[in-house]
Structure 1
Amino acid sequence: MAKTILSITLNPAVDKSSTANHIQPEKKIRCSQPVYEPGGGGINVSRALLRLGITSTALFSKGGRTGELLENLLKKEDVTTLAVETSAETRENFIVVDTANNNQFRFGMPGEKITTADADALRKAILNASPSPDIAVISGSLPEGISTGWLTEIVRELKSKNVKIIADTSGDALTEILNEGVHLIKPNLGELSRLSGMEELDNDSADEAAKKLINEGKAEIVAVSMGPQGAYLVSKEECVHVPAPSVKKLSTVGAGDSMVAGMVSVIAKGGSLTEIARMGVACGTAATMSKGTGLFTKENAEKLYQWLSK
């Protein structure tokens, strides 16, 4: 039976990307026609899952004209949406590539403050989502007005319904929800060091730090994202390292979210830790092969997965 997946994005965005030639200070920069795409951690996970043939529901806050644009962009991609109307205008990010040297500049804008009424509406939508999810992916940053305690309570209530929590956030939010325990987290080495209290981690000590979190009941699986070196996936019984294939990188936008989607796609099918790791690295790497914020193509992801499986 297919698993029901809910992605949760509390601070979504519309990503506006463009190109310019020779970016210099104090000069008027002439940009190409902008491309608008949906953005935000959980939203990108749902978009990426759809590329793998897996349906999920993208729950997100939606406010003002940018919120309307975000919802319409997702509908054009046939993503199933659960938009929660808020008084806060949805934010917009700007990404520009200098065509003279292929340098990418990413400007992330803050979201407007979420009111208490907005937070209550989001809480009700998450906990009353129908059908109730088997897997919930909480991904991205928290907007102003949403406390780490609020998010921890959401995790606690979802877990009481036997929902598997995939957490891809950072900072205090991640620290707090790990006290409740989740199914999977995806820290980089720096984040893993902070969470485990073990300093100066390298490839050899990463699995020890991950095991520490698992033994403390904070996560069942720790996926240590190591960029060009691939990823370590650690559970109580196993430690799997999958190297990242060498590809021509065009953009890193959405690579982390694509990696999460790849892992979730295998978790939903009950796959092994090795399969979870391979698909995560394959999708994350495939995303770097696409321009702008285009995530990955199914063809590239499957090709890299097959290569990693040899």
Structure 2
Amino acid sequence: MTDILTITPNPAVDLSTTVDRIVPVTKLRGMSQRRDPGGGGINVARVIKRLGGDVSAIYPVGGVMGALLRRLLDDEGVASRTFAISGETREDFFASEISTGQQYRFILPGPRLEESEWQACLRAVEALEPFPRFVVASGSLPPGVPDDFYARVARIAKRRGGRTIVDTSGRALAAAVAEGVDLIKPNLREMRELTGSDPHDAAAWEAAAQTLLRDGKVATIALTMGHLGAALVSREGILRARPLAVQPLSAVGAGDSFLGALVWGLASGFDRERCFRHAVAAGAAALLNPGTGLCRPDDIDRLAEQVIMEAA
């Protein structure tokens, strides 16, 4: 039985390099090159696998990039449940500028999925036997996929007795919340879009999260707030964590690392404080690695001891 299933409708192969300085017109010669499997749910699955969790990933594959994506995940030992699409799997590009330490992220549009293709994904989820305890639906929706796609996933999971965790934005997130899910992981921009509010401090953001809980559609909100830290808001109360001081090499995948460690902790039966502590540490640990290298377990263990938490 797979404990955790991740769903990524819009995966990517992430290509990253470093250059001394980014200027127009001139040829910019990269000093390094790496390719990683990418996309929200895929990154979450990679983190859970590194931490020893039982996870599989559902995602579409198309063309040469799709075959490469599958091979990269096979290399990391992540079990894949793929479905074929006619379009080419997208490739994203990240460039780090050595002279300034700035990172430039180019996110390309994904291929359009036909109705028969995204319906095949839902049928694959519905047919799982036995059904996973946790379903993580994460990342953007590609063209052609309806806004309520993750809401449909949540409906299937509820019918089959699974817990649904959603990490997305805009109309897709709003539709999932309207359907009812167990946990969401918004950042401040996503929370602003979802609630229509714009608080100016952590306490006000936490209050906005509590408003969503009172509506009864979400059981837990893991709110990542950048320089304000993070909060885990549930009916059991609020846990707050200050941001960890690390020297970032890349900001890519920090949110996915946070969520991956959180879900791994939940599936492992840890109490909410331990789950949250490891999630905060994993988000910070991802900043220490170049490209989309995500977090490493040894960094998570080390940083978890430095997380300063408090209950509201």
Instruction: Note whether the superposition's TM-score is higher than 0.5.
Output: yes
Per-residue CA deviation, residues 126-181 of structure 1 (Å, 9 max, x unaligned), is: 21123311100000000101001333222112111111111000000000110111
Instruction: Give the alignment of 1:46-57 within 5 angstroms.
Output: 46-57=45-56
> 1:80-101 CA distances to partner (integer Å, 9 max, x unpaired)?
1111111121000000111222
Structure 1 gap ranges (5+)? none
Q: Equivalents in 2 of 1:16, 1:3: separation in Å?
A: 30
Question: How many residues in Structure 1 have an aligned counterpart in Structure 2?
Answer: 309
Partner of 1:178: 177
Cα offsets for 1:2-27 (capped at 9, x unmatched): 87100000000000011112211111
Determine helix, strand or coil for the equivalent of 1:234: strand
Distance 1:139 1:248, change over 3 A: same
Is the 8 Å Cα contact of residues 137 and 167 (structure 2) preserved in structure 1? yes
- Residue 309 of structure 1 deviates from its aligned partner by 6.9
Secondary structure of 2:57's aligned partner: strand
Any idea what the Cα deviations from partners look like across 1:257-304, whole Å, max 9, x if unmatched?
A: 000011101111222222222111010000001111110111000111
Distance 1:267 1:291 in 2: 28
Matches within 5 A, 1:62-211: 62-211=61-210
Residue in structure 2 matched with residue 262 of structure 1 by the alignment: 261
Any gaps of 5 or more consecutive residues in structure 2?
A: none
Letter in 2 for 1:44: N
Q: Distance in 1 between matches of 2:8 and 2:40?
A: 6
CA distance in 1 between counterparts of 2:199 and 2:308 reads 31
| Residues 2 and 56, structure 2, Cα contact 8 Å, conserved in 1 | no
Counterpart secondary structure, 2:18: strand
Quick one: distance in 2 between partners of 1:194 and 1:19? 33
Query: 2:294 aligns to what SS in structure 1?
Result: coil
Partner of 1:23: 22
> Taking structure 1 as reference, are residues 289 and 33 closer, same or farther at Cα in structure 2, changes over 3 Å only?
closer
Is 1:294 matched up with 2:293? yes
Taking the aligned partners of 2:85 and 2:229, their CA distance within structure 1 comes to 38
In the aligned structure 1, how far is the partner of 2:167 from the partner of 2:121? 18
Matched-pair contact (CA < 8 Å) for 2:2–2:54: no
Secondary structure of 1:295's partner?
coil
Residue 193 of structure 1 and its aligned partner are, at CA, apart by 3.0
Letter in 2 for 1:234: V
Instruction: Check the 8 A contact 1:255/1:287 in 2, yes or no.
Output: yes
The whole-number CA distance in structure 1 between the counterparts of 2:97 and 2:130 is 45
Distance 1:238 1:3, change over 3 A: farther
Cα pair 2:4 2:134 within 8 Å, conserved: yes
Tell whether the 8 Å contact from 2:254 to 2:283 is kept in structure 1 after alignment.
yes
Give yes or no for contact 1:97–1:105 (8 Å, CA) kept in 2: yes
Offset of residue 247 of structure 1: 1.1
Structure 1, residues 48-92: CA drift from partner, whole Å, max 9, x if none? 111111120011111111000000000011111111111121000
Q: Distance in 1 between matches of 2:150 and 2:294?
A: 27
Instruction: In structure 1, give the amino acid aligned to 2:70.
Output: E
RMSD (Å) for aligned C-alpha atoms: 1.6
Where in structure 2 are the equivalents of 1:211-250 lying within 5 Å?
211-250=210-249
Give the SS at the match of 2:183: strand
**TM-score after normalising by structure 2:** 0.95
Please say if residues 242 and 308 of structure 2, whose CA atoms lie closer than 8 Å, have aligned partners that are also in contact. no
- Determine what percentage of the aligned residue pairs are the same residue: 38
The alpha-carbon deviation at position 228 of structure 1 amounts to 3.1
Q: SS of 1:148's equivalent?
A: coil
C-alpha separation in 2, matches of 1:255 and 1:83: 25
Q: Relative to structure 2, which stretch is displaced further, 120-129 or 42-51?
A: 120-129
**Is 1:281 matched up with 2:253?**
no
Cα displacement (A) at 1:306 = 2.1
8 Å Cα contact 1:193-1:201 kept in structure 2: no
What SS does the aligned partner of 1:308 have? Answer: coil
Post-superposition shift, 1:201?
4.4
